[in-house]
Amino acid sequence: MRKVLILGANGQIARHAIELFLQNTDAELTLYLRNPRRLGNIDPNRVRIIEGDVLNIETLIDAMTGQDVVYANLAGDLERMAKTIVEAMGRAELKRLLFISSMGIYDEVPGQTYRSILDPYRNSAGVVEASDLDYTILRPAWFTHKDEIDYETTQKGEPFKGGIVSCKSVADLVVKLAETPGMEVRRSLGVNKPE
């Protein structure tokens, strides 16, 4: 039974991931977020909720203790958050990190040039890539809210394909990565709906 810590558990992808973990796996989930009241009713038999800020390293280390996987689905000061997560995982002796970023951080989207808007995503991915963690960075396309699981991936260095992907598709990939030790370790994956 995998123990998964979800940072930013109220995020669009995270909400789908929680549902898929509970429906399709026996994983025990720890949901870490600033405002737990927003989650609604959650099964207390398999889910623990921690109110906290990712930038509070001591609370974060406590939440990481005994976990197998950290899945970070965050917004805000991403570079600082990434540094805190990397440090906390080192101190908690935890290696597996799934980190949501954005398409375009390596200028890999054909015909598109993204300027400073992607700097927080680029910089936070750089922090994760420079760590000794067993990370997988996910770079999803623009989100749709379709109730579908239909996606393909590209590796860092390959041109990005497609321009959209459903939140549920990204969540499905998160669950597969969390449940499969060694899958796509130290990789950065573009995620899109096949055209």
Domains assigned to the chain: 3-192 (3.40.50.720)
Q: 50 is written with which tokens?
A: 């921690």
- Spatial separation of the C-alpha atoms in residues 25 and 163, rounded to whole Å: 30
Torsion angles phi and psi, residue 35, rounded to 5: -130, 85
pLDDT digits over 168-191, tens only?
A: 999 999 999 999 999 999 999 999
- Residue 165: predicted pLDDT: 98
At 65-86, the pLDDT tens digits run 999 999 999 999 999 999 999 9
Q: Over 80: is that where the pLDDT of 36 sits?
A: yes
Question: Do 114 and 133 form a contact (C-beta atoms < 8 A)?
Answer: no
Tokens of 89: 């995982």
Distances (CA, A) of 99 to 42, 45, 47, 127, 137: 23, 26, 21, 11, 5
pLDDT tens by residue, 101-143: 999 999 898 887 777 889 999 999 999 999 999 999 999 999 9
CA atoms within 13 A on the CB side of 42: 22
Confidence (pTM): 0.97
Identity (one letter) of the amino acid at 157? G
Q: How far apart are CA 148 and CA 137, in angstroms?
A: 22
184 close to 138: Cβ distance less than 8 angstroms: no
Among 132, 130, 150, 129, smallest CA distance to 140 is for: 150
